[in-house]
Amino acid sequence: MLSKIELQTPAGENILDITSQVAVIVQESGVSEGICVLLAPHTTAGLALNSGLDPRTLQDISEEFGRLVPTRVDFKHTYDTPADAAGHIKSVLMGGDLSLIITRGGILLGHSQSVLFCEFDGPRKRKVWVRILADV
């Protein structure tokens, strides 16, 4: 089963918790045991598993990415903007896909884990593809 989560991200860099959207898709699939694969088909966005309990965690992650890859004008590729070039590098560091275990009809996550969509060059219309694979 292939589904899609559609997002409208705010301006700048943002981290959005999409755990509930993924959980609904998994539940509606009717699959009780299997795998959920997520893909963000964007070159300036990524996906991560991390804590969504404290919003300051998301702020720390965002700030550290900014420290590691600051927006600057001396990138070789600045097709759109310097933020776009920095976003490409951040996306490579973050990664654009996740695989989650489905068990008992839900996604298996640690106590404080959340599925996070990381926007590095908003505002944008974004999507996350969700593929559900049932155990045979």
Query: What confidence tens digit (pLDDT) does each residue in 107-136 have?
Result: 999 999 999 999 999 999 999 999 999 998
**Measured distance between the N- and C-terminal CA atoms of the chain, rounded to whole angstroms:** 14
Q: What is the DSSP string of 26-45?
A: HHHHT-SEEEEEEE---TTE
Per-residue pLDDT at 82: 67
Whether the CB-CB separation of 33 and 103 falls below 8 Å is answered with yes
What is the average per-residue pLDDT within 92-115? Answer: 97
Whether the CB-CB separation of 7 and 18 falls below 8 Å is answered with yes
Give residue-wise pLDDT tens across range 66-80. Answer: 999 988 777 777 666
Q: Which CATH number does the domain housing residue 32 bear?
A: 2.60.120.460
Per-residue pLDDT at 76: 76
Domain ranges, residue 75: 2-134
What is the average per-residue pLDDT within 19-44? Answer: 97
Distances (CA, A) of 117 to 77, 112, 122: 24, 16, 12
Task: Kindly indicate the confidence band of residue 52, based on its pLDDT and cuts at 50, 70 and 90.
Answer: confident
Number of separate domains in the chain: 1
